[in-house]
Amino acid sequence: MSRSLKALIGPSILNADLSKLYEESQKLLDNGADYLHLDVMDGHFVPNLTFGHPVVKCLRKKIKDAFFETHMMVSKPEQWIAPMADAGVNQYTFHIEPVTNVEDVCRKIKEHGMKVGVAIKPGTPVSEVEKCISLADMVLIMTVEPGFGGQKFMEDQMTKVRYLRDHYPTMDIEVDGGVGPSTIECCATAGANMIVSGTAVIGAPDQAATIKLLRDTVVQAINK
């Protein structure tokens, strides 16, 4: 693995008490989170519904400097690029499955000053994301079916992570779904350097210790 890669831990706030979104988010950052992973669901691309750009904008007013990644589990990701940019999002990660012109969406995201993340569901071959990888800053490999927290980690998705790390050694590769202390080792050794963890971090008795464990495991893998 390239030594230029950074181990980054981005807790998903979906499993937090959303009535205390700012407090929960700030607590995660105080406990060592490198960024916040904000799950946006539209009830169409996935069956669940969460929050949109007005909530993200409110959170940004309270949290000025943290890196915000929105994970757009939506049918029309192009529709929300401008509003999310206005809300202060740093990285706009969208699923390629419902999109006709992925390259066009990537370009629009960059035009609005955000980093581009491209995501694929477990059933989508890694070859699909390769078509647009030159325009991406990061690739997200889902390790559960998108839409709900607390699902069981799919270890077979690590073949996609390994393939990407072998072929794109400096690319940021993120994993999301069922990732925690019991599954971080296989994520790290496969080549993931950006780790989304929801339940395992939010519900941990010691969030700081859990975040440190996740990061240390990835750092060790990067430095091998």
Q: Report the SS3 class of residue 71.
A: strand
Ligand-binding site membership of 148 (annotated): yes
**By C-alpha distance, which of 120, 73, 131 is closest to 96?**
120
Rounded CA gap, 126 and 166, in Å?
Answer: 13
Ligand-binding site membership of 19 (annotated): no
Ligand-binding site membership of 94 (annotated): no
Ligand-binding site membership of 123 (annotated): no
Ligand-binding site membership of 71 (annotated): yes
H-state helical runs in the chain:
21-30, 53-62, 81-86, 102-111, 126-130, 158-167, 184-190, 199-202, 207-222
Structure tokens at 147: 């839409």
Number of C-beta neighbours around residue 158 at 10 A: 20
Ligand-binding site membership of 30 (annotated): no
Tell me the CA distances in angstroms from 15 to 33, 43, 125, one per residue in order. 15, 17, 28
Structure tokens at 90: 């740093």
Which listed residue (39, 65, 86, 206) is catalytic?
39
Which listed residue (34, 156, 176, 216) is catalytic?
176
Q: Which residues pair with 117 in a beta bridge?
A: 93, 138
Ligand-binding site membership of 32 (annotated): no
C-beta separation of 118 from 129 below 8 A: yes
Instruction: For residue 39, indicate whether it is catalytic.
Output: yes
C-beta separation of 209 from 33 below 8 A: no
Rounded CA gap, 83 and 21, in Å?
Answer: 20
Instruction: For residue 17, indicate whether it is catalytic.
Output: no
Ligand-binding site membership of 45 (annotated): no
Catalytic positions, written as ranges: 39, 176
Annotated binding site for a divalent metal cation: 37, 39, 71, 176
Annotated binding site for substrate: 12, 71, 147-150, 178, 198-199
Annotated binding site: 12, 37, 39, 71, 147-150, 176, 178, 198-199
